[in-house]
């Protein structure tokens, strides 16, 4: 448990950070989301939440949306209006000084943040840092500190995400466990989204020195369910301890579910299945679940559960299952 006190001290210092302005989205079923409006088009609201990331909500499920800063409302006849808005299923009310304008929703083509509220390259960069303690069961059972960085930004028509996870470990084995991934999606505001990704992994607990993969697939969003599904192909190359390097071609299927819980909490679960298309005896699968709750301004308390399975015939003396339980503080920049 060495170093756990440092994590708490860091979290308390970060708690002094000032909370920025936020838009609010109230759903018909009663959930309240806080974050930032990304775009409204074709009857769908694209909203970046502080707890659950990007969500896509049909207008039929929106009770009320209010923006803290001016946005640009473009009507179907080409006219534009600018100002903070309040939106429901029937109308958009645009505040303009002491007056306001009302526009029926069916006459609106798009609603987007005003240019002055955007970064020069598109939407603002979203960065989060996470640090905490984990317990892992596998070839060896151990407890250690870890850190994680996540980044996302939008450059129309692309959405870019990056994720880096690093475990401390000992100096002679560093890094014992490391994962890194990047994803590029095209037209993230649509239900069908082509996606390209790069993955890297090192896990000496299962004798994996390095593994790199190139992914290409198609993402399908189910906004009414809070679900995203992805299917595609992955080309990979891997280096193992005491085993020759090998290349492979895999099928990759993934699901991601996000659900707002309580008033400001979020539950997220990701499932992935990666069977080999060359060797039917090889299979990887992973389930990652997390609960996040507000702890202080811009800081969340996060509980994590990761279960992964890997069947590699040449390494039958190592466990196929690994379970990781962790608790951490997550800071949104």
| Over residues 4-23, mean pLDDT | 44
Residue 100 has pLDDT above 50, yes or no: yes
Q: What is the DSSP letter of 20?
A: P
pLDDT at res. 56? 79
Q: 111 with 164, same domain? A: no
- CA 289 centroid distance within chain: 12
pLDDT range class, residue 53, cuts 50, 70, 90: low
| Over residues 97-101, mean pLDDT | 81
Write down which residue in 87, 117, 147 finishes a domain.
117
pLDDT at res. 221? 82
pLDDT at res. 20? 46
Q: 157 with 89, same domain? A: no
Residue 122 has pLDDT above 90, yes or no: no
Q: 33 with 112, same domain? A: yes
pLDDT at res. 18? 36
Write down which residue in 98, 117, 136 finishes a domain.
117
| Over residues 173-184, mean pLDDT | 90
Q: 53 with 139, same domain? A: no
Task: Please give the structure tokens belonging to residue 280.
Answer: 């039917």
pLDDT range class, residue 139, cuts 50, 70, 90: confident
Here the CATH number for the domain that contains residue 289 is 2.40.230.20
DSSP assignments along 224-237, one per residue: TTTEEEEEEEEEEE
Q: Long-range pairs for 239-248 at CB < 8 Å and ≥24 separation?
A: 239/208, 239/209, 239/210, 239/211, 240/207, 240/208, 240/209, 240/312, 240/314, 240/315, 241/204, 241/207, 241/208, 241/209, 242/207, 243/207, 243/314, 243/315, 248/276, 248/277, 248/278, 248/279, 248/282
In a domain, 279, yes or no: yes
Which domain, by its residues, includes 63? Answer: 23-117
In a domain, 17, yes or no: no
Minimum mean pLDDT among 20-34, 112-126, 154-168: which range? 112-126
In a domain, 136, yes or no: yes
pLDDT at res. 219? 93
Q: 313 with 208, same domain? A: yes
Range among 45-49, 57-61, 236-240, 291-295 rated most confident:
236-240
- Coil, strand, or helix at residue 76? coil
Write down which residue in 117, 137, 168 finishes a domain.
117
In a domain, 227, yes or no: yes
Q: 287 with 162, same domain? A: yes
Contact 165, 181 (CB under 8 A): no
Q: 112 with 130, same domain? A: no
Q: 113 with 145, same domain? A: no
Q: How many domains does the chain have?
A: 2
What size, in residues, is the chain? 333
In a domain, 16, yes or no: no
Q: 281 with 181, same domain? A: yes
pLDDT range class, residue 116, cuts 50, 70, 90: low
What confidence tens digit (pLDDT) does each residue in 243-282 have? Answer: 888 899 999 999 999 877 766 678 899 999 999 999 888 9
Q: 314 with 217, same domain? A: yes
Residue 192 has pLDDT above 60, yes or no: yes
pTM of the model: 0.73
**Among candidate residues 68, 95, 69, 91, the one with its CA nearest the CA of residue 81:** 95
**Among candidate residues 182, 156, 164, 198, the one with its CA nearest the CA of residue 46:** 156
pLDDT range class, residue 135, cuts 50, 70, 90: very high
| Over residues 303-327, mean pLDDT | 90
Here the CATH number for the domain that contains residue 104 is 2.30.30
Cα angle at 32 between 28 and 35, to 5 degrees?
Answer: 125
Q: 39 with 105, same domain? A: yes
Q: 218 with 292, same domain? A: yes
Residue 168 has pLDDT above 50, yes or no: yes
Task: Please give the structure tokens belonging to residue 208.
Answer: 């994996």
In a domain, 186, yes or no: yes
Cβ partners under 8 Å of residue 322, min gap 6: 136, 137, 138, 205, 206, 306, 307, 308, 309
């Amino acid at each position: 448990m060495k170093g756990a006190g440092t994590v708490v001290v860091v979290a308390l210092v970060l708690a002094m950070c000032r909370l920025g302005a936020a838009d609010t989205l109230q759903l018909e079923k009663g959930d309240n989301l806080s974050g930032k409006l990304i775009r409204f088009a074709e009857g769908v609201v694209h909203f970046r939440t502080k707890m659950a990331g990007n969500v896509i909500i049909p207008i039929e499920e929106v009770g009320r949306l209010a923006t803290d800063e001016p946005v640009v409302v473009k009507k179907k006849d080409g006219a534009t209006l600018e100002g903070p808005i309040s939106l429901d299923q029937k109308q958009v009310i645009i505040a303009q000084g002491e007056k306001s304008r009302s526009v029926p929703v069916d006459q609106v083509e798009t609603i987007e943040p005003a240019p002055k509220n955007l970064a020069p390259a598109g939407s603002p960069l979203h960065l989060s840092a996470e640090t905490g303690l984990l317990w892992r069961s596998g070839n060896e059972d151990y407890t250690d500190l870890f850190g994680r960085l996540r980044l996302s930004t939008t450059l129309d028509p692309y959405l870019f995400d990056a994720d880096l996870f690093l475990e401390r470990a000992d100096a002679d084995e560093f890094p014992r466990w490391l994962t890194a991934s990047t994803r590029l999606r095209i037209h993230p505001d649509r239900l069908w989204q082509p996606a390209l990704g790069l993955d890297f992994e090192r896990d000496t607990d299962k004798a994996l020195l390095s593994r790199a993969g190139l992914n290409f697939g198609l993402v399908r969003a189910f906004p009414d369910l809070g679900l995203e599904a992805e299917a595609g192909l992955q080309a990979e190359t891997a280096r193992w301890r005491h085993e020759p390097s090998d290349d492979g071609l895999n099928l990759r299927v993934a699901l991601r579910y996000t659900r707002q819980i309580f008033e400001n909490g979020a539950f997220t679960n990701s499932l992935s299945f990666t069977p080999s298309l060359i060797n039917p005896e090889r299979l990887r699968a992973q389930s990652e679940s997390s609960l996040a709750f507000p702890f202080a301004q811009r800081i969340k308390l996060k509980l994590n559960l990761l279960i992964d399975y890997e069947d590699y015939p040449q390494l039958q003396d190592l466990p196929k299952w690994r379970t990781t339980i962790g608790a951490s503080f997550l800071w949104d920049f």
